[in-house]
């Protein structure tokens, strides 16, 4: 059985007042039009009795905005982006904005389609972690004067505001930590080759390896996925000269590593050490808590939102390109083998 949706005309009929009077009271313009307190109280009482809910779309169209922000993530299966989505949604709710979350599934064509649909919904702004370095569809959004800010992933050669971690520094410090613990045979399992975080993490890893004179290292992999971590670990464990440590570029990759190591009956860190990029609460509750390079997620979200609202309100963004320092959380997955080899 369908329930009739109450509208302003119903309130007008129930109160004996004109539609314009009802509208002015509900829109907070009673004082402007000299509507008496008694009339206001009468309208509000009937509104409560009839359980009237305003059509928010119509209200927002009158205001000239929809009070919705689009958040495009590369993959909600990645705990890092799931965390981003949770933090952004909570912060925007505090500002009385709704978040439309869209998952591009690391697919450029899907990302383009999602952007078209979100623009058609008249979103007030877009926060995006792009799935590739192609920019034509992003340039089109900017040309439409739709506020857009990148987070985590960005376009280094474009004048598009972004907020990200200093992935180079994070990978550099993580590699340095492994080397300081005596590891000379290190395997790095990277993520998506088209993403800027992966590009800079790889550069940071290589820079520290070369600076330390490390020769016996390898870089492999191509996705921020459990499957990638699992497959690449299985392959490297077939080698005669196995690595003593693995640096995974995401916690999804690390989970795949752990699965493969268990199948080979190898223990972390007794048989092989493991360090990962990105923190997550579950890392602390694994049988061996994982040492990780933690990104400042809340700060990334806060600054990205601030940048977006600067664009929405046509304010100048002084610091358009922001990179924040990640930090190492020391747990129990890295063994010091300096005196054991």
Same domain, 121 and 24: no
pLDDT of 30: 83
Could you tell me the CATH number of the domain that includes residue 15?
1.10.260.40
CA atoms within 13 A on the CB side of 198: 23
**Residue 2: predicted pLDDT:** 46
Sign of CA dihedral 250, 255, 256, 261: positive
- Distance between CA atoms of residues 49 and 171, nearest Å: 61
Give me 155's structure tokens.
């376009």
Query: Which residue segment(s) compose the domain that 101 sits in?
Result: 66-165+297-325
Residue 331 falls within a domain, yes or no? no
The answer to whether the CB of 275 falls within 8 A of the CB of 248 is: yes
Q: Where are the alpha helices (DSSP H) in the chain?
A: 8-15, 19-26, 37-50, 56-63, 79-94, 108-120, 136-143, 167-180, 196-211, 226-236, 251-263, 297-312
Domain count, the chain: 3
Report yes or no: 137 and 115 within 8 Å, Cβ to Cβ.
yes
pLDDT of the chain, 341 residues: tens digit per residue? 345 677 888 888 888 999 889 888 887 788 888 899 889 889 888 888 888 776 655 555 555 578 999 999 999 999 999 999 999 999 999 999 999 999 999 999 999 999 999 998 889 999 999 999 999 999 999 999 999 999 999 998 889 999 999 999 999 999 999 999 999 999 999 999 989 999 999 999 999 999 999 988 999 999 999 999 999 999 999 888 899 999 999 999 999 999 999 999 999 999 999 999 999 999 999 999 999 999 999 999 999 999 999 999 999 998 999 999 999 999 999 999 986 65
Whether residues 151 and 90 fall in one domain: yes
Strand 186-189's sheet: what is its strand order?
Answer: 217-220, 186-189, 245-248, 273-277, 291-294, 327-329
Q: What is the C-alpha separation between 32 and 304, in angstroms, rounded? A: 38
266 class by beta-carbon count within 10 Å (0-12 exposed, 13-18 middle, 19+ buried): middle
CB-based contact 115:103 (threshold 8 Å): no
CATH value at residue 305: 3.40.50.2300
Q: 125 and 176 in one domain?
A: no
Name 69's bridge partners.
Answer: 99, 125
- 95/86 Cα distance (integer angstroms): 15
Residue 3 in domain: no
Can you tell me the distance from the alpha carbon of 253 to that of 15, in angstroms, rounded to the nearest whole number?
Answer: 63
Q: What is the full DSSP assignment across 118-179?
A: HHHTT-SEEEE--SSS--HHHHHHHHTT--EEEESS--TTS---EEEE-HHHHHHHHHHHHH
Question: Would 159 be classed as within a structural domain?
Answer: yes
Of residues 269, 89, 263, the one with CA closest to residue 183: 269
């Amino acid at each position: 059985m369908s329930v009739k949706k109450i509208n302003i005309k119903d309130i007008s009929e129930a109160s004996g007042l004109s539609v314009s009077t009802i509208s002015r009271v509900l829109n907070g313009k009673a004082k402007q039009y000299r509507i008496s307190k008694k009339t206001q109280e009468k309208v509000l009482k009937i509104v409560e009795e009839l359980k009237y809910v305003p059509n928010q779309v119509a209200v927002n169209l009158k205001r000239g905005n929809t009070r919705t922000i689009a958040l495009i993530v590369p993959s909600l299966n990645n705990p890092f982006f799931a965390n981003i989505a949770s933090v952004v949604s909570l912060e925007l709710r505090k500002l009385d904005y709704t978040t439309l979350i869209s998952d591009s599934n690391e697919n450029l064509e899907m990302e383009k389609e999602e952007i078209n649909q979100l623009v058609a919904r008249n979103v007030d702004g877009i926060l995006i972690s792009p799935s590739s370095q192609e920019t034509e569809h992003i340039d089109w959004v900017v040309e439409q004067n739709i506020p857009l800010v990148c987070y985590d992933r960005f376009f280094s050669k474009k004048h598009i505001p972004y907020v990200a971690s200093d992935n180079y520094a994070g990978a550099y410090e993580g590699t340095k930590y492994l080397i300081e613990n005596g590891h000379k045979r290190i395997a790095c399992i990277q993520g998506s080759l088209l993403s800027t975080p992966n590009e800079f993490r790889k550069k940071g890893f290589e820079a520290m390896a070369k600076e330390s004179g490390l020769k016996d290292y390898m870089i492999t992999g191509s996705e921020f996925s459990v499957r990638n971590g699992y497959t690449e670990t299985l392959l490297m464990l077939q080698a005669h000269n196995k690595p003593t440590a693995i640096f995974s570029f995401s916690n999804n990759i690390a989970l795949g590593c752990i699965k493969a190591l268990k199948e080979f009956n190898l223990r972390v860190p007794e048989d092989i050490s493991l360090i990962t990029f990105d923190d997550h609460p579950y890392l602390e509750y694994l049988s061996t808590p994982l040492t990780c390079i933690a990104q400042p997620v809340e700060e990334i979200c806060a600054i990205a939102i601030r940048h977006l609202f600067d664009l929405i309100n046509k304010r100048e963004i002084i610091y358009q390109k922001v990179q924040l320092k990640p930090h190492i959380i020391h747990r129990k997955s890295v063994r010091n083998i300096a005196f054991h080899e």
